[in-house]
Amino acid sequence: MLVSEFQYDLPPECIAQEPLADRAGSRLLHLTRPNVDRVGGSWQGQNWHDRRFREFPELLRSDDLLVVNNTRVFPARLYGHRSGERAQRPSPYNSAAREFLRGRVEVLLTRQVSDDPNEWECLVRPGRKIGIGEKLYFGAASEGDSFELEAEVTERGSFGERRIRFVAVADFLDRVERIGHVPLPPYIDRDDRAVDRERYQTVYAQTPRAGARSVAAPTAGLHFTAEILEGIRARGIKIAEITLHVGLGTFQPVRVEKVEDHKLHREQYEIPAEAADAINRAKVEGRRVVAVGTTSVRTLENAAGLTAERTGGERVEGGRGDADAFIYPGYRFRIVDALLTNFHLPESSLLMLVCALGGKESVMAAYRHAVEARYRFYSYGDCMFIE
């Protein structure tokens, strides 16, 4: 299967640059699948309806189980300066430091390597110029201030990927929260602002027990408000919370010609025991599992795949793991029956996942309709419900 089969034309003006004043005010494209082929073939009798997200609770069945990703986004984009290789550590902003420090550098923290909060995988810009041994300095606002954070590049990967180690400080995450910027995706053509710290976060985001955080929002969840969640629960619909910390695996570009040749980066996830019990009970009782967002899908299907390898059963087990499941048309879903999702970039792994559940021909036709109807696309855009 060719990556080019997942291309579509999108006018730049359809890319949402700002969040709506009302989280729940977005449009919703409702795609139904009358004849469901669980191995991801073409759907017959495809159909869609233009709706509003406020109608979403009424589109659910009273016995559905809704699964959400409660990860929290942290301000993972750091701006600073870089040094030369094998140079001595400077005193901040004295005359020697100004001669010593080179140009500006941008670092996007993508994954904490271990329980040690000081070692991270990241993307750096300018990627070609920053090599192993380079020192990076962040957070001095003006002359005379100390640097908040210092790091050294320890490994070099392709396409701007690096591994860096920060000089240990007791309040590392607090410092990142203070000096970091909201990691808005590159198709949002503006700097982050104070409002993004709240709006680029779901209302049900939880502060994790460990240090891992997300570097991008599970954007399908951005539409929910406390009132919408209350309306869902009022209908007797249960909600299960799981966690996948969004990293490179979610938004890395597909750089191969054949879909089957693409490999995803791993992303950390956790499924609480009570969530696993609720999911497995729903499957046994023949009730639908409705995933909110592609990150929820990847977590559930990755966990179910691991269980199937060990036991042959189609269920999930509670616990932590690393998700690297690449889902594209032809995949047989074990857990997920329906999906609420935002619109995704052309030729992206996320669009391939949506096509795997909704059928490639049906989804791509629905996308063309969404473009013609001037839906708002991507992170701050409108959404789609596939059932």
**Each residue's pLDDT tens digit, 202-233:** 999 998 765 667 989 999 999 999 999 999 99
Taking only the tens place, the pLDDT of each residue in 227-283 is 999 999 999 999 999 999 998 766 678 999 999 999 888 888 999 999 999 999 999
Based on the fold, state whether residues 272 and 366 are members of the same structural domain. Answer: yes
Name the residue among 195, 229, 228, 200 with its Cα closest to residue 214: 200
108 has a pLDDT exceeding 80: yes
Report yes or no on 25 lying in a domain: yes
Burial class (CB within 10 angstroms; exposed 0-12, middle 13-18, buried 19+) of 206: exposed
pTM of the model: 0.89
Average pLDDT for the chain: 88
Report yes or no on 173 lying in a domain: yes
Based on the fold, state whether residues 59 and 106 are members of the same structural domain. Answer: no
157 has a pLDDT exceeding 90: no
The domain of 88 spans 77-179
Based on the fold, state whether residues 249 and 350 are members of the same structural domain. Answer: yes
Domain count, the chain: 2
Q: Which pLDDT score is estimated for 35?
A: 59
Q: Are 163 and 155 in contact (CB under 8 A)?
A: yes
95 has a pLDDT exceeding 70: no
Based on the fold, state whether residues 102 and 242 are members of the same structural domain. Answer: no
Q: Are strands 383-386 and 27-32 parallel, antiparallel or unpaired?
A: parallel
Based on the fold, state whether residues 361 and 251 are members of the same structural domain. Answer: yes
Least confident residue range of 89-93, 200-204, 329-333, 367-371: 89-93
Q: Which pLDDT score is estimated for 127?
A: 78
Q: Which pLDDT score is estimated for 117?
A: 78
Q: Which pLDDT score is estimated for 38?
A: 39
Taking only the tens place, the pLDDT of each residue in 40-93 is 444 445 589 999 999 999 999 999 999 999 999 999 999 998 886 433 444 444
- Percent with pLDDT over 70 in the chain: 88
Name the residue among 46, 45, 42, 53 with its Cα closest to residue 5: 42
Taking only the tens place, the pLDDT of each residue in 279-314 is 999 999 999 999 999 999 999 999 999 999 888 878
Q: Which neighbouring-strand residues pair with 162?
A: 122, 156
Query: Interior CA angle at 61 toward 60 and 63, to 5°?
Result: 130
Arithmetic mean of pLDDT, 360-384: 96
Arithmetic mean of pLDDT, 135-139: 91
List alpha helices for 215-336, DSSP H.
226-234, 248-251, 273-284, 294-311
> At 220, which CATH number?
3.40.1780.10
Q: Which pLDDT score is estimated for 147?
A: 87
Based on the fold, state whether residues 342 and 270 are members of the same structural domain. Answer: yes
> At 134, which CATH number?
2.40.10.240
Question: Where do we find the tokens 């691991």?
Answer: 306
Based on the fold, state whether residues 54 and 83 are members of the same structural domain. Answer: no
Hey, is 284 helix, strand or coil?
helix
Based on the fold, state whether residues 216 and 353 are members of the same structural domain. Answer: yes
Report yes or no on 117 lying in a domain: yes
Which among 123, 147, 179 is the end of a domain? 179
Based on the fold, state whether residues 175 and 214 are members of the same structural domain. Answer: no
Q: Which pLDDT score is estimated for 141?
A: 52
Report yes or no on 349 lying in a domain: yes
Which among 179, 211, 230 is the end of a domain? 179
Hey, is 319 helix, strand or coil?
strand
Which among 128, 144, 179 is the end of a domain? 179
Q: How many alpha carbons fall within 13 Å on the CB side of residue 313?
A: 8
Arithmetic mean of pLDDT, 169-196: 92
- Rounded CA-CA distance 77/72 in Å is 15
Q: Which pLDDT score is estimated for 128?
A: 79
Based on the fold, state whether residues 210 and 348 are members of the same structural domain. Answer: yes
Based on the fold, state whether residues 158 and 208 are members of the same structural domain. Answer: no
Based on the fold, state whether residues 103 and 10 are members of the same structural domain. Answer: no
Report yes or no on 184 lying in a domain: no
